Amino acid sequence: MNGQPIIEIRGLRYRYDTGTLALDGVDFQLFPGETVALLGPNGSGKTTFALHLNGLLRGEGFLSVCGLAMENQNLAEIRRKVGLVFQDSDEQLFMPSVLEDVAFGPLSAGRTAEEAREIALAALDQAGMRYAADKAPYHLSAGEKKRVAVAGVLAMNPEVLVLDEPTTFLDPPAQRDLVALLARLEQSKVLITHDAGLARALASRAVFFERGKIAADGPVEEVVERFHWDAAPPTVPAAAQT
């Protein structure tokens, strides 16, 4: 692929305090505008790997984001560039209203209250959730919570989105809405999923984790077929396909 990788990782190793070796020499690249699906069984290292992408975990090896080495002096900037969307949206939504929740990041980054409000409203527009700006997050459906969580990340203007099992807890209509939203976003994406259909809908490339190593890296369909990792794909509305 042409161009410089937006994320580059070489020889990444991580061992938990329990002694479990979760990552054992992982090499990985993500290019601008690319969406890569991380496939593999539970415990294979996918989430541990993803938490290294913005420094929530720090292992051995080389890791750079947007040309910044994963070092203490670069950590704040890297965390602005890599936005995490957790599997459980309730872990991300904690303010009294949706608008306050989405504005929290820009406020923390030093924006004025008015600037943060405008940024938050724009992010909610992008996620199709402006109508819920004054609602309490706990009044939202699971699908609405997920889109608000995405809006909160978008408000920080990241260059990379990391999404951990984003369709968990969502019914089929909410899954379709989320897939359409993610398909519209221009950021590079790392998508952790067990759903081969979701990988097909959003990613051009997949990596398969096995026992802390990448066992395969290639086109989604090839990786899915090699490991018999199949499921019915969600439908992306025609308007969202680009």
The DSSP secondary structure of 194-209, one letter per residue, reads S-HHHHHHH-SEEEEE
Bridge-based pairing of strands 188-192 and 160-164 is parallel
pLDDT of residue 204: 92
Helix (H) or strand (E) holding 146: helix 142-154
What is the average per-residue pLDDT within 121-131? 96
The answer to whether 142 and 170 are in contact (CB under 8 A) is yes
pLDDT of residue 12: 97
**This prediction's pTM:** 0.88
Please write the tens of the pLDDT for every residue from 53-105.
999 999 999 999 999 999 999 999 999 999 999 988 988 899 999 999 999 99
Residues 6 or more apart from 5 whose CB is under 8 A from it? Answer: 29, 30, 31
Domain ranges of the chain: 7-230
pLDDT category at 168 given cuts 50, 70, 90 is confident
Between the alpha carbon of residue 73 and those of residues 52, 61, 63, 69, 70, the distances in Å are: 16, 17, 14, 9, 8
Using alpha carbons, select from 164, 119, 122 the residue that is nearest to residue 146: 164
CATH superfamily of this structure's domain 7-230: P-loop containing nucleotide triphosphate hydrolases (3.40.50.300)
pLDDT of residue 1: 54
What is the average per-residue pLDDT within 187-208? 94
Using the predicted structure, report yes or no on whether residue 238 has a pLDDT greater than 50: no
| Residue found under tokens 């090896």 | 61
Please write the tens of the pLDDT for every residue from 11-28.
999 999 999 999 999 999
